[in-house]
Structure 1
């Protein structure tokens, strides 16, 4: 494997599969099978969004206090994290669910040294509840945890196979970047992660690979160093 320790970022919407809301059991089982291919060959941490259940931004638009909405979104990420944990354990993968908000009955509190030790012992560590703070997205949580865990790379699993000059689902003339620097991506206004997460990765020299998680075998290929998706790095 090219990378020894990686952080996989999954969107909540990715777990919907063909559904309009919630969790598609078939999709989450597919993800667990893909992760199993890496198990015991790479130290893997995972951060999942909660957009398939609830978003803090959507609450604010409906007149709810943004802080309250963001905490509700954090709980949504915990539901997704628990679902993924169950799917992974069904594949005989040892896991630990770590929450940024204390939920002693279902998850460990985040303690950096303990989380690193879990990775060193070969357990898949799932980080739930974002950063534990309102106004921060799960992209920011992924960047923060990757830095804290000293991950070699962030793998951002999406439904498209990389970063394009425009939305490939809307513009048939959009062309794909194989590699791009953080500065180039910023100057071109490309949407990869929110600005907080993007800046954290740039300043701490953590590369990001955007790839299609829904294509079987892609996750393993990316970790092996094959040119799948788009690499974003300082140079």
Structure 2
């Protein structure tokens, strides 16, 4: 029997900082990161080019700290540094799987990461390396979701795969509302109009303008990254037409 063929040639995987915590209350759980790295390796072995954007909420969440009194811009810069820490953790896990990986930072910190340029990122992807984008967009007041949308368009990704702790988008919070139902397919405009909790409005608008599909799926289910790449019907797909 022939091996299954991936549906996508180049993906951008968006991981929240919380996704790296596993069962912990904060920080990085090595077993969880190792499991993510193993799945990325399997996808990479299918010939898929993989870029990753990692959040920093497991270490530092800027918005909540800003609300407590810190200057928002300062809090956001601290959050960007947290994303670089997470990126280095993922890079280490990938390299232990014998996968070449590069961390590219949105601002200059050459001792720990390459400074992001689109040509260099494209070179790494085409050379078979995993590229991990750290430090968000490099600007305060923008989330890592917006960074994922921006980088996905820049590198010409086929799709953004947003890995979360829930199995897609719901009409309401399924934890607090027993009537909430899962949405399998929707459009960017519908997400904006109904204020569905997928990504912030800036990220969704950028994806809509550039016809970038978004798949929201459950990372905690083993093998879901592979299923997503193969085009199996999991999670919720947000696309220009549905």
Same fold judged by TM-score > 0.5? yes
What secondary structure is seen at the aligned counterpart in 1 of 2:131? strand
1:116-151 CA distances to partner (integer Å, 9 max, x unpaired)? 111111100000000000000000000000000000
Q: Which of 161, 165, 186 in structure 2 is aligned with 1:155? A: 161
Unpaired stretches in structure 1, ≥5 consecutive residues = none
Q: Secondary structure of the residue that 1:37 maps to in structure 2?
A: helix
Partner in structure 2 of residue 120 of structure 1: 126
Correspondence for 1:191: 197
1:92 aligns with 2:98: yes
The equivalent of 2:43 in structure 1 is 38
| Counterpart position of 1:203 | 209
Residue 226 (structure 1) aligns with? 232
* Matched pairs, number: 235
Q: Partners of 2:205 and 2:21 in 1: how far apart? A: 29
1:16: Cα distance to partner? 1.0
Which whole-Å CA distance do the structure 1 matches of 2:184 and 2:197 have between them? Answer: 16
Equivalent residue, structure 1, for 2:107 = 101
Cα offset, 1:191, TM superposition:
1.1
CA RMSD of aligned residues (A): 0.9
8 A Cα contact 2:55 2:83, kept in partner: yes
Q: Which residue of 2 aligns with 1:9?
A: 14
- The residue that corresponds to 2:76 in the other structure is 70
**TM-score when scaled to structure 2?**
0.95
For 1:185 and 1:129, how far apart are their aligned partners in 2? 26
The answer as to whether partners of 2:192 and 2:201 remain within 8 angstroms in 1 is no
SS at match of 2:44: coil
Matches of residues 131-170 of structure 1 in structure 2 within 5 Å?
131-170=137-176
**Which of 17, 21, 25 matches 1:20?**
25
Per-residue CA distance 1:10-51 (angstroms, 9 max, x = gap): 000111111111111111111111111111320000000000
For the residues of structure 2 that align with 1:62 and 1:74, how far apart are their CA atoms? 18
Give, in angstroms, the shift of residue 9 of structure 1: 0.2
In structure 1, what is the Cα distance between the partners aligned to 2:163 and 2:102?
21
Moved over 6 A (4+): none
Give the superposition deviation at 1:113: 0.6
